Structure 1
Amino acid sequence: MKCPVCGTSLTQAKYEGVPIYHCLECRGFLASRSRAMGIRHKADRSPEILLDEAKTQLLADTRKTIRCPTCRDLMRKESIPGAAQFKLDVCHRCDLIWFDGGELALFQLAWEASPQGQESAKMQERHQNMSDEERAQLEADIDALPRSSLLGSLLDAFRPPDDGLD
């Protein structure tokens, strides 16, 4: 697979332990949306390390529209709200996101600075600091929740009403 920016072959890499593609030439990353969201929620790198990565690897955002390296369709530029405004290149057909050099670190920093990211960090810290008894109680509470199948609910919604004519 070729880099959508410079045409160099993309290499398989791991970022925050998540497998994605990387361009060694322009330092961009290609990831599926689900893997990008997984990376966003990782807290393995400190904000200082992420900021340094963003500063040292950030290149000018690709102004031109680029093509998806998989399907060759034009990728859409989508803004990411947060502390640092920048745009990611997204292919909705293949569900892929292109991060220019440094943007993946900015993506994580923007999440960490958001109210949702801060709440998520608090919940993770709370979970890590739980005693064994608290953790066992949480697991018991989760197990006690009603189990309903989404598929079963959908099937019930489309099942004709019983009119008693059988």
Structure 2
Amino acid sequence: MKCPVCKTFELRPTMIEELLPAMGCEQCKGSLVGLLYYRHWAEHHKPSSDTSAPATVAELPADTTSALRCPKCERIMTKYRLTGTVANRLDVCSICDEAWLDGGEWQLLEQLQLSDKLPAVLSDTWQRKIRNESSERTRQEILRRDLGSEDAGKVETIRSWLKGHPAKSTILTYLYRN
């Protein structure tokens, strides 16, 4: 199998973690991980006991922005976002049940405390949550750009107050009519 990024280098057997085999590219340091092997690893791996918020990611690994072809079946792999704040995406072949990790993405998953949560990351619920968070950030940026930081902060305060208010619809109706 050829590397989907370099296209010329052959993938060679490697280990990402103990009990987690993959096919790796010596050139770009990417890895093709069978999700069946990943599930076995996740079942036998003890997740870290650190439940604090993930550390800020200092340096992001390179991410392939173009569509990749699965090295096994040559079909286009689907890209899955990790978080709303990190641009890196996992490439997954739903036919072969394989994931392509660009060089350094496994370490990124560990830093984000997502290495043992891939099934959740690949779920529609996770991806929808990321899209919603991204949309909300965009709306907030537009509000700050249009009103300025001070007034945007006031609007956010009113929004928070209004969110749980029992007379929310009455207040909104009053505001719309005036």
TM-score, normalization: structure 1? 0.54
| Alpha-carbon distance between aligned partners in 2 of 1:12 and 1:2, rounded to the nearest angstrom | 12
Residue number in structure 1 paired with 2:22? 20
Partner of 2:80, secondary structure, is strand
**Compared CA separation, residues 86 and 39, structure 1 to 2 (3 A):** farther
**Aligned pair partner of 1:81 in 76, 80, 83:** 83
**Compared CA separation, residues 84 and 35, structure 1 to 2 (3 A):** farther
**Compared CA separation, residues 112 and 73, structure 1 to 2 (3 A):** closer
**Compared CA separation, residues 44 and 9, structure 1 to 2 (3 A):** farther
The one of the two structures with greater contact order (alpha-carbon pairs below 8 A, sep at least 6) is: 1
- Could you tell me which runs of 5 or more consecutive residues in structure 1 were left unpaired when the two chains were aligned: 117-166
Q: What is the number of residues matched between the two proteins? A: 110
**Compared CA separation, residues 33 and 3, structure 1 to 2 (3 A):** same
Alpha carbons 1:82, 1:111 under 8 Å: kept = no
Percent sequence identity over aligned pairs: 33
- Could you tell me which runs of 5 or more consecutive residues in structure 2 were left unpaired when the two chains were aligned: 118-178
Partner of 2:108, secondary structure, is helix
State the shift of 1:63 in Å.
Answer: 0.8
Residue number in structure 2 paired with 1:5? 5
State the shift of 1:55 in Å.
Answer: 6.7
**Compared CA separation, residues 14 and 110, structure 1 to 2 (3 A):** same
| Alpha-carbon distance between aligned partners in 2 of 1:15 and 1:102, rounded to the nearest angstrom | 11
**Compared CA separation, residues 62 and 113, structure 1 to 2 (3 A):** closer
RMSD over aligned Cα atoms: 3.5
State the shift of 1:32 in Å.
Answer: 1.1
| Alpha-carbon distance between aligned partners in 2 of 1:110 and 1:38, rounded to the nearest angstrom | 21
Alpha carbons 1:82, 1:110 under 8 Å: kept = no
